[in-house]
Each structure stands twice: as structure tokens, then as C-alpha cells.
Structure 1
Amino acid sequence: MRGETAARLAVHDSGHRGAAAFEPAFGQLYDDVRQLGFDALIYDYTPVPRSLEGELITPSLLRTRNVPDDMVSLWCQSGYYQVDPVQIHALDSCAPFTWSYCRPENTSLRRVLNEQHRPVSHYMQNHNMRCGVTVPLHLPKGGFVTVTAIHTGLDTDNEIETVLARIGLLAHTFQEHVFPLFDEAWYHCRHVHLSPREQECLAWSAEGLTAKEIARKLHRSLATVNLHLNNAARKLGASNRVQAVVRAMHYRLL
């Protein structure tokens, strides 16, 4: 069953002003892509697209229109996003591209599609979302967006090619308009979560302060500071504090 799922997010942000401001613009984008013959629309944003291990990071912002009711939860909670061949190809691309699960050999999917992508491929075909266009947008400070317009027709590959440039222009224009409307919470990578005190201690460590110096600056005991630094390193998968700082910077936690 399909529904209007624009209010859904990968994060709980429905009460934020950014979400309310974003909605009208996203609704207009959906109307625009429908006029070009598409039936569904997906927008996602992640401030840090890959983990240090190379795995795709689940978006902090996800908006959809006219997709199956379970799609958001599958992509954001069941690991489908990490094995989505369209997203994998998009991250290594700069230009809009077409994709098709019916005839992948004729589209960009021929370069990436393999056995590990079978859950996504089956899902998309079973729900009649067999082809479409994706526009990758590499943003300032390392953020990443994809805008994906989906066509449910069977023999529409050639038709999609004719509107590729127009979809690309729509996506870039939309992103330029909505970027200033982003809620502050959307800029935070959710791959790793540090407490405010852990971040503070690690930030001072990045400035070159020792644990003793951090303890004096924060008016906390040395044992407490060491606990925060060790917890941060553990969460980041770091073997020492220097590595913890490097990893925290990758995830934009400092």
C-alpha cells in the first residue's frame, strides 16, 4: 500500500521549524517531477555519507512521496540503505543518472549490481518501482544528498533519458532553496553518538590539552575526564586518543 509519506523521517524531527519549512518546497518538487511523468519521489541527506570502514551511513533526513509504507523503515532500520545499489553508485557520481532493475545492463546499475543488492532489487521490482533517475548532490563541508524520481512504467527507459537534464536542474534548484531551511539537528551525523561532556573533553584534547589540563579547565577530577575520554574512544572504535580525535572529526563531532 502506498501513501503520502512526506512527514516521515529517519529521525524524530516533526516538531522542528526546519521540518515545517521544508514541507511546502518538497511538495512543489513532487508536483514538478510528476509533470515529467514520474510517480514517486525520494530525498535524503546525510552530513557524513560514509563510515571510516567505507559503509554508507543512514541519512539524518529522509523525505518520500508515494512509496510503500514499509520502505522508510526497511531502508533506515533494516540495513537496506547500505546495500542500495543506486545509493552506492550515486556516492561515486557527480552527474544525474538513470537506473533500471528490469534492464540494469542498459543503465548505470550494470557497474555495481551484484548478489548483495538482491534484497533491494527484489523489493523495488515487487513494488513496481523498476526504473528512475537519481541526482547526486555533493554539498559544502562534505554533506551528501540524493534526489530520486521513480517511474512505475515498464518500458520507459528511453523516455526517462529525455528528461534527465530537467530533473537535474530541478534537484539543484530545490537544494539551493531548502539548504538554508535545514534544522540544526539534521547536520549531526548519527553513526556515532557522544555525550556533550565526551565531546567537550575530546574537543579540548584536539586542542592539545592533556587530561590533567582538561580536568583543571572543566573543574572536574582527572578520573572523570579520563572516563569521558575513554568512553569517547570506545564509542569511536579508537585505540588511543589521537585516533579518537581523528575519527570524531570525520564524523563532524568536533
Structure 2
Amino acid sequence: LLDAWPEEWSERYFSNGYLYRDPTIRLVNRGSSPFHWSEIDEMCRLSPLGQRIMDEATEFRLCEGFTIPFVTLEGRAAGFSVAGEKLDLDSHDRLALQFVAACAFGCAAILADGKRNSKPTHLSPRQSDVLRWASEGLTVDEIADRLNISRNTADTHLRLVRERLGVTSTIHAVAEAFRQGLIA
């Protein structure tokens, strides 16, 4: 677990066992979509202790937050959260944060393993094309139209790219491809 929360909050959080009752962690473990903390109550019934954890976080200026769940290739849940006194995110900001989180998650995984993959990833020209268009924000349907291929073919290429890069989402694939210098 990597964190950059205020030290006093981290001490309270872990000494009180909040990790096991934190509603954000519950949603991360469920594999939910990225969520703003204001959405927690409608996504899962907030227990009194869960509400207390969220209330206590505000004492440390962690009033509003956004959490991005990940699932590792081993099937383990992980999450990336940003928080502060005020967090005003539009849909573009959320996508940008998902990209940053995917980059950070990839780097954290490398640090945790203590090694980098020394074998370079090879993508076919078509896989590179599909990934490049995905990095521009195009949907699978838009990529298929742009490259004059079927939706199924575009989707298959993206799936193969994710497998070769060792990630589970297209956003994470784009971030990993940037990190490896496969796309610019």
C-alpha cells in the first residue's frame, strides 16, 4: 500500500483498522467503476462506521475525493485515490486522472516487484494503430471506422495489446505504452 495522506491520518486510519471498514476500499474490492466520494452512499449502503471514517477524514482536509479501482492480472484489487478540501472534476478531468492513475499504478507495480520487464513488448503495426487511436480517446467503434475494419477486429486488437502489455484496461494499456515508448 502506497499512500501520501497526512501522517496523522494514516496513523489513525491503520491503528483503528479502518482499512477493513473503509467504504472506498469496499468499492475498490467490488471492482466498481471510478467514483467520486460523494457517490459512495448511492453505490453501497454506508455503515455508521463507514460514515465515521469519511467524517474523520475531513478533519485532515480530505473532504472530497475520487477513487479509481484497478484489478491486477493476478485478480487482486487495488485503488488510486486523490482527495482534498475541494475536488471539482469534469468528465475530462476524470479521464485524465484515470490515465495518471494507470501510469502510477504501473510504476508502483514495478517498484513492488523490484524489477522492470527487460523484454521489450512487440506490437504488430495494426495493434500499434489501434492503440494510437485509443490514446486519442476514440471508442472501439470509432477506431474500427477510422481504420476501415470491423468492430470485432478492433476490439480483438485492443485485447491483444492489453495482454501483451500485461494490463487489464485500455486506459492502462495506453499509459503503459507511453511509459515503454511504444507510442508518443
TM-score, normalised relative to structure 1: 0.40
Q: Deviations over 1:48-75 (max 9, x none)?
A: xxxxxxxxxxxxx2321xx332222222
How much does 1:168 deviate? 0.7
* Matched positions, count: 112
How much does 1:183 deviate? 4.3
> Are the aligned partners of 1:97 and 1:108 in contact in 2 as well (CA < 8 Å)?
yes
State whether structure 2 residue 90 is matched by structure 1 residue 161.
yes
> Are the aligned partners of 1:97 and 1:164 in contact in 2 as well (CA < 8 Å)?
no
Higher Rg? 1
- 1:73-92 aligned at under 5 Å gives the runs 73-92=11-30
Identity in percent: 17
- Runs of 4+ with deviation above 3 angstroms: none
State whether structure 2 residue 111 is matched by structure 1 residue 172.
no
State whether structure 2 residue 76 is matched by structure 1 residue 143.
yes
Unaligned runs of 5+ in 2: 115-184
Q: Partners of 1:176 and 1:119 in 2: how far apart?
A: 32
> Are the aligned partners of 2:31 and 2:71 in contact in 1 as well (CA < 8 Å)?
no
> Are the aligned partners of 1:138 and 1:145 in contact in 2 as well (CA < 8 Å)?
yes
The structure carrying a bigger strand percent of its residues is 1
TM-score, normalised relative to structure 2: 0.53
State whether structure 2 residue 47 is matched by structure 1 residue 110.
no
Q: Partners of 1:118 and 1:181 in 2: how far apart?
A: 33
Q: Partners of 2:111 and 2:79 in 1: how far apart?
A: 17
Give, as a single letter, the amino acid of the residue that structure 2 aligns with 1:151: G
Where 1:146 maps in the other structure, the secondary structure is strand
Partner of 2:67: 134
How much does 1:87 deviate? 1.2
> Are the aligned partners of 2:23 and 2:50 in contact in 1 as well (CA < 8 Å)?
yes
Where 1:137 maps in the other structure, the secondary structure is strand
Instruction: Tell me the C-alpha RMSD between the 2 structures.
Output: 2.1
Unaligned runs of 5+ in 1: 1-60, 101-106, 185-254
How much does 1:174 deviate? 2.1
Q: Partners of 2:37 and 2:40 in 1: how far apart?
A: 6
Partner of 1:205: none
Q: Partners of 2:90 and 2:29 in 1: how far apart?
A: 20
